[in-house]
Amino acid sequence: MIQRFLIAAALTVATALPAAAERLSLAEISRYLNQLQTAQGAFTQINDDGTIDTGTIYIKRPGRARFEYAAPNPALVLAGAGSVAVFDGRSNTGPDVYPLNQTPLSIILAENVDLTRDRMVVGHTSDANTTTVTAQDPDNPEYGNIQLVFTGNPTELRQWKIDDGSGSTTTVVLGEMRVGASISNRQFDIRREADRRGNR
């Protein structure tokens, strides 16, 4: 299932949080996401059944992400060319493929993120350290939602939690992210990866 692999990358365990922070505005968060071109780093995924996976994530906005899972999980998840592909790693058949725009991940990978759009944000809260925004496709709330956690000074995405619309949730916690590095588009080429694996 896609929710197992788009595990809402749960927050950075290793990175210290600021002592206090004001709630980040939706305009500021949108600005941050729109200027984020590339990022890569470690992630920890907490699956709906409580199991934990780790790996490396690559993001290249708009529209592209790569989740490489560490052993013993042989899975690979690619978002690119408007699709999300889940490679099992234990099978020589092709990946399971889903339209990206039918997953909450599309909200942060969109070419123009606008969290001020009517009915997109259904939750906007803060505590002493973080700002949490819950967003959904306003025209298709049945696709589920994504809960994004940010710290400020400077604004940084720390984790997200995806509810796939069927009651299953996945949390992804981001480690220290390297921002602005060059990442080849080939990293997100679903067909190329399928050919490389000999998938039919």
Residues recorded for the chain: 200
| Tens of each residue's pLDDT in the chain, 200 residues | 454 444 333 333 334 444 456 899 999 999 999 999 999 999 999 999 999 999 999 999 999 999 999 999 999 999 999 999 999 877 777 899 999 999 999 999 999 999 999 999 999 999 989 999 999 999 999 999 999 999 999 999 999 999 998 889 999 999 999 999 999 999 999 999 999 888 75
Q: Give the whole-angstrom CA distance, residue 102 versus residue 83.
A: 9
The pLDDT value recorded for residue 90 is 77
DSSP H helices, the chain, are 2-5, 26-35, 106-109, 190-197
The pLDDT value recorded for residue 10 is 36
The pLDDT value recorded for residue 21 is 61
Given a contact cutoff of 8 angstroms between Cβ atoms, the answer to whether 6 and 43 are in contact is no
First to last CA, the chain: 20
- The helix or strand, by DSSP H or E, that contains position 96, with its residue range, turns out to be strand 96-99
The domains found in the chain, sorted by start residue, are 2-197 (2.50.20.10)
- Produce one character per residue of 86-114: b if its CB has 16 or more CB atoms within 10 Å, e if not: bbbeeeeeebeebebbbbbbbbbbbeebe
Given a contact cutoff of 8 angstroms between Cβ atoms, the answer to whether 24 and 152 are in contact is yes
pTM: 0.87
